[in-house]
């Protein structure tokens, strides 16, 4: 079961897709460790604060953390996650997803069902706007693609539902549903290449 900080980063990864490798930047263990220290500091601020605390997290730190620390904890069938912080409020993410698992569960029988044509391990990408305010967040999907082919939101929701179901979320995560931010986070200010966590 994910801890609070793992759920926070996993949520960002699921919601927010340009790989750093494609941009010519490699992730490092140092960046992953820096991200882990920042998450620990964010989680430790659970009491009442007299002033706002701001923690800046870079795109490179998030991707290093995904690679070194979170990737082994992702559901089987989801690999190579990465995020891009595109700025102001705009984020994207990609992961290679095993669609055969989703397809088997859905058992598509109609030629109009998109899952009739989707199979194999392919990159799934999403892009949208992350809105946060007063301790809550919501992701507004702007585009989704499977293997570079645009797909409707319903297809992405089926993939997300399949891979996010757990004892805590038996119906999986809803793409449109607002969600509370953990650890007294009031908002996340997204700008190009970085996000500022405000507590």
Q: What is the pLDDT of residue 59?
A: 95
Q: What is the DSSP letter of 115?
A: G
Q: What is the pLDDT of residues 157-192, one digit of tens each?
A: 988 888 888 888 788 889 889 999 988 999 999 999
Residue 34 binned pLDDT confidence (cut-offs 50, 70, 90): very high
Q: What is the pLDDT of residues 2-23, one digit of tens each?
A: 444 444 455 544 443 333 333 4
- What's the gap between Cα 117 and its chain centre? 25
Taking residues 119-142, report their average pLDDT.
93
Q: What is the pLDDT of residue 114?
A: 64
Beta strands in the chain (DSSP E): 54-58, 78-85, 90-98, 121-133, 136-146, 149-150, 179-180, 187-191, 194-198
Q: What is the pLDDT of residue 105?
A: 67
Q: pTM for the whole thing?
A: 0.78
Q: Kindly give the residue spans of alpha helices, DSSP state H, lying in 55-191.
A: 59-65, 99-106, 153-164
Rounded to whole angstroms, the Cα distance separating 13 from 84 reads 9
> Of 27 and 48, which is predicted with more confidence?
27
Rounded to whole angstroms, the Cα distance separating 136 from 131 reads 8
Rounded to whole angstroms, the Cα distance separating 107 from 90 reads 34
User: Among 101, 83, 99, which Cα is nearest to 91's?
Assistant: 83
């Amino acid at each position: 079961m994910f801890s609070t900080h793992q759920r926070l980063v996993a949520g960002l990864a699921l919601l927010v897709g340009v790989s750093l490798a494609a941009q010519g930047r490699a992730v490092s263990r140092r960046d992953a460790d820096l991200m882990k220290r920042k998450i620990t500091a964010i989680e430790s601020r659970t009491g009442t604060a007299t002033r706002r605390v701001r923690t800046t997290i870079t795109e490179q730190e998030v991707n290093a953390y995904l690679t070194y620390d979170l990737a082994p904890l992702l559901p089987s069938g989801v690999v190579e996650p990465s995020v891009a912080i595109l700025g102001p409020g705009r984020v994207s993410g990609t992961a290679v997803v095993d669609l055969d698992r989703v397809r088997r569960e859905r058992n598509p029988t109609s030629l109009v069902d998109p899952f009739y044509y989707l199979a194999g391990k392919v990159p799934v990408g999403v892009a949208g706007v992350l809105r946060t305010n007063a301790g809550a967040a919501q992701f507004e999907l702007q585009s989704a693609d499977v293997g570079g082919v645009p797909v409707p939101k319903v297809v992405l929701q089926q993939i997300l539902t399949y891979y996010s179901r757990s004892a805590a979320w038996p119906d999986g995560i809803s793409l449109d549903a607002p969600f509370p931010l953990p650890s007294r986070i009031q908002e996340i200010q997204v700008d190009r290449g970085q996000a500022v966590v405000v507590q």
